[in-house]
Amino acid sequence: MIIMDKLEEILRKDLHQYLLSMKEVDERLPECPDVEEKWEVIAQAYLPDGIREFNAYPTASLGWMMYLGMAVAKYWDTEWEIYSKLPDIYAYIRDKRGYDSMDEYIREEVLLLKGDDYTATDKLVGECASRVHNALMHQQIEPGTKEAFYAYVTCLHQLYLFGIAIQLNRMGYHMTKMQ
């Protein structure tokens, strides 16, 4: 689907440049196949909640996926032997405090953020979600169509991947060219 490929490229470039300017990712993005492999299962579980919330709370619907990417990357670094075996990581996280408070749960209990780091992460995810929502709206895709669904999933996927990249960067995983 050419439209989705174009949207994916727009989102990837915009998020990468923005996060580079904030020093939240490196020039070369990390690869973490274990966490990336969880995308399909997480997305399938997330879609009913995310779609339901999108019209009233589009940036939350989008941003929560970035938080999920961050959480899964953290789990990968700490206790992957346990978390990789969960049949539904999304439900596991969501059910701790419910969908509406999932962002707070991830910041407080998974990422262990406090004070300025807690607030800065909230702002960062909000800005990324807002940028993605803006790009999505500029695509002029008719709501409720198959194209709209695929565009939404494309947006979620990029946010998930960049959530992973941010968290890996914060934990000290840096991708540098080997000499």
- pLDDT at 1 exceeding the cut of 70: no
- pLDDT at 89 exceeding the cut of 80: yes
Q: Please, are residues 91 and 85 in contact by the beta-carbon 8 Å criterion? A: no
14-59 pLDDT, tens digit each = 999 999 999 999 999 998 999 999 999 999 999 999 999 999 999 9
| pTM for the predicted model, two decimal places | 0.96
* Domain residue limits, the chain: 2-24+35-170
Give the closest residue to 96 by CA, choosing from 126, 68, 120, 76: 68
* Percent over 90 (pLDDT), the chain: 93
Q: Within 13 A of 162's CA, how many CA atoms are on the CB side?
A: 33
Q: Please, are residues 155 and 161 in contact by the beta-carbon 8 Å criterion? A: no
